Amino acid sequence: MAVVEGSQVELDKVLLLVDGDKVRIGKPLIEGANVVAEALGEKRGKKIIVFKYKSKARYRRKKGHHQIYTRLAIKDINWGEAS
């Protein structure tokens, strides 16, 4: 999901909500619950090395990869209807 930096994002697939002693677990999702967040931009993750090797065949391939992540700041958590 591509989002513009500074825009608001609504995440509606909530699996678990915890507030102190108050816990709600979804089956598999919590009905009516959502999380509102603000996009802070994209960042590249730690470099991962992919190394393929076959013994006795002189086969070696080495590649690197950075996964791109979107940073989010949570603004509001809506619990939905209480059950």
- Per domain, the residue ranges of the chain are 8-78
For CA atoms 71, 78, 76, 36, give the dihedral sign. Answer: positive
How high does pLDDT run on average in the chain?
A: 91
| pLDDT at residue 82 greater than cutoff 60 | no
Query: So what's the pLDDT on residue 2?
Result: 76
Confidence class of residue 75 from pLDDT cuts 50, 70 and 90? very high
| pLDDT at residue 1 greater than cutoff 80 | no
User: Do 3 and 36 form a contact (C-beta atoms < 8 A)?
Assistant: no
Longest dimension (CA), the chain: 63
Model confidence pTM above 0.75: no
Could you write out the DSSP letters of every residue in the chain? Answer: ----TT-EEEE----EEEETTEEEE-SSS-TT-EEEEEEEEEEEEEEEEEEEEETTTTEEEEEEEEEEEEEEEEEEEE--S--
User: Do 9 and 36 form a contact (C-beta atoms < 8 A)?
Assistant: yes
